[in-house]
Amino acid sequence: MIGHDHGGPAGYGQPGASTGSTYVPPPAPSPFPQPAPQPSAKPRTSLAVALEQSRYRLMVTAAVVTTVFTAISVKLAMATLLAGGGEPRQHVALEVGDTTTNRADITDRNGNLLATSLVTQSLYADPKLVSRPEEAAQKLVGALPDLDYKDVLGKLSGDRRFVWLKRNLTPKQQAAVHRLGIPGVAFEREERRFYPAGPLTSHIVGFTGIDNNGLAGMEQGFNKRLTEEPGTPLQLSIDLRLQHVLKKELAATVQEFSAIGAAGIVFDVRNGEVLSMVSLPDFDPQDPTGLVPDTLFNRATLGVYEMGSTFKIFNSALAFDTGKIRVSDMFDAAHPVKIGRFTINDYHNLHRALTVAEVFQHSSNLGSVRMVQQVGVAAQKAFMTKMGFTKPTGLELPESGWPLVPNPWREVNSYTISFGHGISVSPMHTVAAAASVINGGLFHKPTLLKRQPDGEIPTEQVVSRQTSDMMRRMFRFVVTEGTGKSAEVKGYVVGGKTGTADKQKGKHYQKNSRMSSFLGAFPMNDPRYIVYVLVDEPQATKKTYGYATGGWVAAPAVGRIVKQIGPLLNVPMVDENTPEILNSTYLNAAGSTNWQQSLPPVTAPPPAKGSTVASFPTQTKPR
């Protein structure tokens, strides 16, 4: 059967479609409007591409700028709102944390500051950053008048990247430069050494250079210790109170006798501590540059001199210690001693034989020579070596002199050495050796460091206790009956020995150029301290009747010093005529130590006026 034609499209059962195909109805029309067909896209031009890239770059730049300004805003908010706003605090002084120094303090035995370091600012410049050197130099000289304009200008105009303009500014100077606001000029933190005692301890403490390194005194001797242990002060044995007294009296003596200088030492004979040491003239350690060498010269430790009659201390100790000579032995002091072309005589010849006690009392050169003749050259050399006179003292100061000793040590040398000529040693040599002669025979190496109470004291027995006991009596005898009477201080049992030596200039001795000294000690019943005074080239005065010897010049100064420092050292005053004191200090010209034999005989009181018979006590009946 032939189907009817429905007028559908081919393939959907319309006529012409293949027989047996399935019919699918057409899709229903969409209720939404259909978009108009797009025309085909045109190709992009180079201008459009460039505009698109520029737009992208502007967006990235805007994002970066926004981020940066956001960070700045946050920082400002933190600095103002969160950290507390207001005016910045004015720095009147350095922060406490900035005052730590790199060099230890130096103190006396009681903790008084002798040297300390202060933090300072130093001015420097980088010439490459200074745009107008002439203007900058003019401003700097205006703020710091001690600067030289040409010098500053030359530094600021140079090719270097670092130049110092001024070291160690004061706070006021630093503020003045800071206000100038000169580009290329800045400050560097440094340290400056400060010496509160000034010249008083200059020859002990010394000084440092511009870079704070020690150049003299304990500053140099302990430079490594002071820098490696900056937090631990270096404590010296010096007592600043004694230092004041010693310098005052030395200065007065120098002025009175128109001397060119002086030296003084206060020494503890029990442990070797130097309690005070002064050398005049002295200097200001704050500004040691430009001074004459004489002010920097330490007469107490570096200077070596022929000590004159103070060396009779050691000649007498040698004589006693050999056992060959006793204090009562007599020696010819009437006839000069001739050796070769030299003649030895006494300053005041008594024209008679003298006991050893009188040789010491009157400071006889002839008696001293006779004594060493009996002892021998070898024994003298060995003894002087044992007393430390052939090497430096070992004191901690770098300014320590080497003794000048004869080589070879001949007979003529032994003669002159017996009375203090022909050998040159420092005052410190003399004091340390004398201490061992009177302290029981124990030699203590001198030190400027305070010894610890429980510390070990280096000790060497150099003379016997018997010799030391006799030397104490000899010391006391010189002050009570000899050339040192003007050193006497009531209550302190002072002893000692005078010394006067002509100074050698060239090959000859100058008659009116001398070293006058006195080595005093107290109390002689139990020696504790030595006070030594040396005056360089004193001139005689009317008050001294034309004399400028140790007994007239140095002994009175020692007496004044003892009187003032005795109370400071807690030395009790005693009655020098009590049996206890006399038993340990008495000696007479004959060499006797028995003070009771010298007492005047006890006589009966005179009878009453008009009586012709002796009166006797009568017994009374008990009541």
Residues labelled as active-site residues: 309
Under 8 Å between Cβ of 336 and 345: yes
Q: Residue 499: name the closest of 386, 593, 421, 441 by CA.
A: 421
Gyration radius (Cα) of the chain, Å: 48
Q: How far apart are CA 611 and CA 479, in angstroms?
A: 45
3-state class (DSSP) for residue 18: coil
Question: Other CB atoms closer than 10 Å to residue 516's CB: what's the count?
Answer: 28
Under 8 Å between Cβ of 431 and 395: no
**Tokens 């009747």 -> residue:** 545
In a 10 Å sphere around its CB, with 0-12 CB exposed, 13-18 middle and 19+ buried, how is residue 274 labelled? buried
Q: How far apart are CA 336 and CA 332, in angstroms?
A: 9
Between helix 365-375 and helix 377-386 the angle, nearest 10°, is: 100
3-state class (DSSP) for residue 388: coil
Q: How far apart are CA 106 and CA 201, in angstroms?
A: 11
Q: Encoding tokens for residue 255?
A: 């002025």
Give residue 349's identity as a one-letter amino acid code. N
In a 10 Å sphere around its CB, with 0-12 CB exposed, 13-18 middle and 19+ buried, how is residue 499 labelled? buried
In a 10 Å sphere around its CB, with 0-12 CB exposed, 13-18 middle and 19+ buried, how is residue 517 labelled? buried
H/E element, 250: helix 240-256
Q: Residue 121: name the closest of 154, 93, 159 by CA.
A: 93
Under 8 Å between Cβ of 502 and 513: yes
Q: What is the DSSP string of 288-312?
A: -TT--HHHH--TTTT--B--GGGGH
Q: How far apart are CA 443 and CA 386, in angstroms?
A: 9
Q: Residue 220: name the closest of 126, 364, 115 by CA.
A: 115
H/E element, 443: strand 442-443
Between helix 427-438 and helix 312-322 the angle, nearest 10°, is: 40
Under 8 Å between Cβ of 519 and 430: yes
